Chains A and B, each alone.
Chain A
Amino acid sequence: MPKSAPLFLARRPEMRAFTTRAAKAAAGTRTHPDNAQLSSTPTRSRREPNVPSLHAFANPARFVKLARPLTPILFWTGSALLAFGLWGGLTRTPPDYLQGETVRIMYLHVPTASIGMGAWSGIALCSILFLVWRHPLAMVAARAIALPGAVFAALCLVTGSIWGRPTWGTWWQWDGRLTSMLLLFFVYLGFMALTRADAERGGDGRIPAIYGVAGSVLLPIIRYSVVWWNTLHQGQSISLTKSTIDNSILWPLPFTLFGFGFIFAAIVLMRMRAMLAAAKAEARMRRMAQ
């Protein structure tokens, strides 16, 4: 193992590929991932731009240095945006002519649904980064995303159910949107179980990564379920370019969307920092035991 690579990373299956490449990234050398194992004498350079962009933050020390100040900034900015959005949604918007006051659940339901789906996109992206480029922090990020992603998917289901009771007259209906979202929640649980089992058995992280990519097939099914199956859940009312919701009701939604999004990002950073610190402590204990 190169001297400049942190020893503790060799203990984690998804980190094994890191040791050589991160040493080169830290040393400022340009190394193609495929050739990372071939060159044994990294040449030092004083020019930081020589670090490949994809692996610029592959060094956990460098990543933590960035994440440490970013975590509270994201969390408190998100909290402020969320507080303002929820205050506006509860007190400064009129009731909907059809749904009445229950429309206020939209300020929770839409962001949790977006983040629940977006989080799986993040897992799929990290899995591709790991499978194709063997980015050493990719699977750490995927593992860190899984639990908050599952919680947001569950919150989407719960808030939708609470919204459905006074609006539709039922807590649950096996329609396309609700069922596909429930499946996504179970897929999250499967991913968490698989990553844990893979780590316990000393796997290299490829099986959870393949699962992460395969699970993304659910995302277009959820997105177009209201188009393909005309069931109880309403059709899409908000897109990037237009909305069928009046602005007097819609305006708090971006605040809660970005508020929840920033808090979610802060939670993921916290979990990544915890995982990296735990791996470092474990490696230190092993070295002391030898």
Chain B
Amino acid sequence: MNPWPFVISAYGVTLAAVAALALWSWLAMRRSERK
């Protein structure tokens, strides 16, 4: 079984989720602080 699709998908899911969470938190912070 080729392991690289599993490695790449694990890295992709994790980095995408953390980046989305950080971006969402930053946008929410900026929106709240501008009010």
Confirm or deny: A266 has a beta carbon within 8 angstroms of a beta carbon on chain B.
yes
Q: Are B13 and A100 in contact (CB under 8 A)?
A: no
Confirm or deny: A163 has a beta carbon within 8 angstroms of a beta carbon on chain B.
yes
Interchain Cβ contacts under 8 Å between A and B, 12 examples: A102-B3, A102-B7, A148-B25, A151-B18, A155-B17, A159-B14, A263-B22, A270-B28, A271-B29, A273-B32, A273-B33, A275-B32
Please give, as numbers and ranges, the residues of chain B lying within 8 Å of A210 by CB-CB distance. Answer: none
Please give, as numbers and ranges, the residues of chain A lying within 8 Å of B32 by CB-CB distance. Answer: 273-275, 277-278, 281
Minimum C-beta distance from A38 to chain B (A): 35
Q: Are B3 and A101 in contact (CB under 8 A)?
A: yes
Minimum C-beta distance from A68 to chain B (A): 9
Chain B residue at smallest Cβ distance from A100: B3
A-B contact count (CB 8 A): 80
Binding site for A on B (CB under 8 A): 1, 3-4, 6-7, 9-11, 13-14, 17-18, 21-22, 25-26, 28-29, 31-33, 35
The 0/1 profile, CB within 8 Å of B marked 1, for residues 69-102 of chain A is 0000001000000000010001000000000111
Q: Are A148 and B21 in contact (CB under 8 A)?
A: yes
Q: Are A267 and B25 in contact (CB under 8 A)?
A: yes
Please give, as numbers and ranges, the residues of chain B lying within 8 Å of A165 by CB-CB distance. Answer: 6
Confirm or deny: A166 has a beta carbon within 8 angstroms of a beta carbon on chain B.
yes
Confirm or deny: A138 has a beta carbon within 8 angstroms of a beta carbon on chain B.
no
Confirm or deny: A260 has a beta carbon within 8 angstroms of a beta carbon on chain B.
yes
Asked whether A102 and B18 contact (CB < 8 A) given A274-B25, A277-B33, the answer is: no
Q: State A101–B10 Cα separation when bound (angstroms).
A: 12
Chain B residue at smallest Cβ distance from A161: B10
Q: State A267–B17 Cα separation when bound (angstroms).
A: 13
Q: State A102–B2 Cα separation when bound (angstroms).
A: 9
Confirm or deny: A131 has a beta carbon within 8 angstroms of a beta carbon on chain B.
no
Please give, as numbers and ranges, the residues of chain A lying within 8 Å of B25 by CB-CB distance. Answer: 148, 267, 270-271, 274
Q: Which of A108, A270, A271, A281 contacts B10 (CB under 8 A)?
A: A108
The 0/1 profile, CB within 8 Å of B marked 1, for residues 274-289 of chain A is 1101100100000000
Please give, as numbers and ranges, the residues of chain B lying within 8 Å of A109 by CB-CB distance. Answer: 10
Q: What 8 additional pairs, Cβ within 8 angstroms, besides A109-B10, A163-B10, A277-B33?
A: A100-B3, A105-B6, A155-B17, A162-B13, A165-B6, A166-B6, A263-B22, A277-B29
Please give, as numbers and ranges, the residues of chain A lying within 8 Å of B6 by CB-CB distance. Answer: 102, 105, 162-163, 165-166
Q: State A20–B16 Cα separation when bound (angstroms).
A: 43
Among A202-230, those with CB < 8 Å from B are none
Please give, as numbers and ranges, the residues of chain A lying within 8 Å of B28 by CB-CB distance. Answer: 270-271, 274
